[in-house]
Amino acid sequence: QVQPVESGGGSVQAGGSLRLSCVVSGSTVMNYCMGWFRQAPGKEREGVAVIDRYGNADYADSVKGRFTISKDNAMNTLFLQMHSLKSEDTALYYCAADMYACYSGSWRFPVAFRYWGQGTQVTVSS
């Protein structure tokens, strides 16, 4: 059973930075398409960034140039480095894994991912 576990969330002022981590047990991030999603209160869960098994990344337009997704295969860990945070980045951030999501053309949709973590809260105050 593949189980992602997120950490690194917290409270930060606008303009600040945070780095989220996601440790995956049960398999290796090297073999999976890995993604970060977020869900703000009253809103749908949305795709933030994705990285495939070869290290190719894609981002939502709202975070391009501010967020960077990466992974450490040896540590079996996925990261999301977030800079220049805005109040609208406030959300519960989820790590997700799937064998095929990166190649389906629909990685931005939660339904594309099979395995999910419990989420870590990011709160940005203005």
Measure CA 75 to chain center: 17
What's residue 31's pLDDT? 86
Q: Residue 92 has what pLDDT?
A: 98
pLDDT of residue 59: 97
Short-list 3, 8, 13, CA closest to 76: 3
Kindly compute the dihedral angle of the four CA atoms of residues 44, 76, 112, 99, in this order, to the nearest 10 degrees. Answer: 180
Averaged pLDDT, groups of 10, the chain, 126 residues long: 95 98 88 95 97 95 98 94 98 96 89 96 96
